Amino acid sequence: MDKEQEQKPDIDIHSLDNNSKPDNKTISDSEEDPTNIKSDNKVNEKEINPEEKIIALEDKLTRTFAEMENQRRRFEKEKDEAFDYGGFVFAKEALNLIDNLERSKIILENDEKLKETEALKKTIEHLEIINKDLISIFAKNNIKPIDSLNKKLDPNFHQAMMEIEDDEKEPGTIVQEIQKGFLIKNRLLRPSLVGVSKKTEPKKEKDEKNKDI
């Protein structure tokens, strides 16, 4: 038994009505427009008073000028220090010349073979001339020796290396200069190495200390 086949009618695509096409999604009135939000925010922002703007600008300018002035002062200070103390390291090393001259003089004076000879006398005179010339050159460049003898010990300029009994001097007075100190302008180039006075200890206390040792 043959079944009748249902024939479906052909659909003409071009015959479709435009209204049959799916509608495009439209923006509903309930959705927020970003443009409108921004404009609303600008409207809602608190307006700044012109006088407040001027005060804020004046404060900003004042701070800027103050910072510029501080930078200028720092630059001037660094420039002056570089000019005044640029040769600090060189000057400190050059002091070895004076030290070596002084050591040479002491060695020659303690040489038994040269004592009381004309050669020693002339050599010492030449060494002293050279030493004075060096001191003069240093002085012209603002490098000056520290005056230590018979002065009170000052930790800013002196370094005590030993104590020497001396009842005639007030305790803490510099009675011996082991190595001369120098200043470059107002800055310490190196401290003076010195010996300071102290009161003579009673003999009993000395004996007791010796026994403890």
Percent of the chain residues topping a pLDDT of 70: 68
H or E element: which one contains 164?
strand 158-165
**Which of 18-27, 69-78, 89-98 is most confident?**
89-98
Give the C-alpha separation, 154 to 173, whole Å: 10
Tens of pLDDT along 6-55? Answer: 444 444 444 444 444 444 444 444 444 554 544 444 444 456 788 888 88
CATH of region 144-203, choose from 3.40.190.290, 3.30.420.40, 2.30.22.10, 3.40.720.10: 2.30.22.10
> Per-domain residue ranges for the chain?
144-203
Return the structure tokens found at 20.
């049959």
Closest CA to 188 of 159, 151, 149, 150: 159
